[in-house]
Each structure stands twice: as C-alpha cells, then as structure tokens.
Amino acid sequence: MKLAVNIDHIATLREARGENEPDPVIAAGICELAGAEGIVCHLREDRRHINDRDVRLLRDIVKTKLDLEMAATDEMLKIAIEILPEIVTLVPEKRKELTTEGGLDILSDKKRFEDVIKELKAKDIMVSLFIDPEPANVDLAIEMNADIIEIHTGKYANTVKEKDQIFELSKIGVTARMASELGLIVTAGHGLNYTNIFPLLNITEITEVSIGHSLISRAAFTGLQKAVEDMLNIIRVNRN
C-alpha cells in the first residue's frame, strides 16, 4: 500500500496568520524525501488553504505524482488543464463545510461529470472519483470512464462502536473488491490516522491511502522539541 500525503493543513496554518509560512510547497518536498509516493492538494473555490501559486509551484517541484482535488467547475477544469497534474480527484465541495463531508453525488449532474472527465482524460490526466463505499457508485465510475476511485473513509473513521466499525469496513472491502475486479485502481482516504489505518491494511485491493490531517497533527508534536531547541540555540549562542 502506498502513501500519498495531503498538504492542505500546512496551508491552513499559513492562512491562519495570512503570512508566508509554513509553506506547503516546502512541505511537499519534505514528504517526498521521507518516502511519500504522491502529493495531494485541494484547490477550493474560496482558496481557504491551497492557492493558485501553491498549485503551480507544486507542479514544478513534485517528483512523484501530483493529485489535484477539485470540484467539477469550469474554473477548476481550466486550471487543471493548464497545470496538468498526474491525477485529478473530483470531490464535492460546500462553502460552509470544514472539510469534505462525503462522496460525490454523481447522479446530481451526471452529464457535467461526464464532460469534465472527458476533457481531463483528453489531456492524459487520470481521473479519480471520491465516492462513498457503495457498489452503485462503482458502477457509475465505470460508466463514466474513470480510472480510479477513492473510497471515502470518513464514516468508518468516525465510528465509535466496534460493530459499526466492522459494518463500515465491510462496505469498504466490498466496494474495493468490486472496483478492482472491474479494472479500477482503488485508493482510500479521509479521517485515517495512526490507529484506524490497521484494518485497512488487510484490504489488499486498496493500493494507496491519502492522509493529511493526522500526519500534520503528529508532526506538530514529534517536531516540537527540535523546533524549541533550535530557537533556544539561536538565542543563547547569539545573545550579547
């Protein structure tokens, strides 16, 4: 199973102060050097974290693969065709949501999704659909000529009771197997962390997971001691 790192939350930290750091572009390089096999970013309509500058620089520096998450809008389609990421993941987007709340409702505007997918694939961009773990969504992904499905694991990640977790895992497993048998590449993401990732490792059809928030959260603690020590060293060594 491969790991793609979503760097949106580095940009969220930057935008909290409206300044220049931390830079998600630098974060992408660090993640790749650490072994990540893909970089994921979500360019939202309101540019609440990742912005146009980030995407263009990421296209220049990412050496593994760049996965651009976006809504199926004319504006985002134009940017994707200009930037040419290896993958575009089509995701639902609501202005008031804190983070993506669920999978695509493809049937809400099927013709629109078909047109966007066709244009992206004409530019040799692989297309991933972010879907809830339901067999019907796999059928739609096949029908629309998608290359990849990313299974939304948010509901699984948020379960508390063991029986509910098992139920959600079974849905993910069934969806992954069906998609793989039909020739789709299967990935998964949303809400995955250092604990709940373990059961997914047994679903061999999932070839990659996309993780962001829990990685950035862990980094704040695992790197905090070194950050304080570095600052103290500067202060103590250079103070008159």
Is the pLDDT at 50 greater than 70? The verdict is yes
| pLDDT value of position 234 | 85
How many angstroms separate the CA atoms of 114 and 92, rounded? 15
**Is it the case that residue 240 has pLDDT exceeding 60?**
no
Mean pLDDT of 221-225: 92
Average pLDDT rounded to a whole number, residues 153-178: 95
Residues 6+ apart with CB under 8 A from 37: 2, 3, 4, 64, 65, 208
Nearest-10 crossing angle of helices 135-143, 162-181: 30
Buried residues in 58-74 as b, exposed as e (16+ CB within 10 A): beeebebbbbbbbbbee
What pLDDT does residue 166 have?
95
Q: Give the pLDDT score at 95.
A: 64
- Residue 236 has a pLDDT of 87
Question: 43 near 88, Cβ under 8 Å?
Answer: no
> What pLDDT, on the 0 to 100 scale, is given for residue 237?
80
Helix spans in the chain (H): 8-17, 24-33, 52-61, 74-83, 110-122, 135-143, 154-157, 162-181, 197-200, 213-222, 224-238
Express as a percent the part of the chain with pLDDT over 90. 88
Domains along the chain?
2-238 (3.20.20.70)
pLDDT in the model for residue 99: 61
Catalytic residues: 42, 69, 190
| Residue 149 bridge partners (DSSP) | 129, 186
The CA distance from 28 to 154, in Å, is 24
Binning pLDDT at 50, 70 and 90, where does residue 216 land? Answer: very high
- Lowest mean pLDDT of 97-101, 132-136, 173-177, 184-188, name the range: 97-101
Both structure tokens of 209: 């997971």
**Which has the minimum average pLDDT: 67-81, 87-101, 170-184?**
87-101
Cα pseudo-dihedral 49, 51, 53, 57, rounded to 10? 60
Q: Say what the pLDDT of residue 98 is.
A: 56
Tokens for 96, please give them. 């008031």
Per-residue pLDDT of 193-212, as tens digits, reads 999 999 999 999 999 999 99
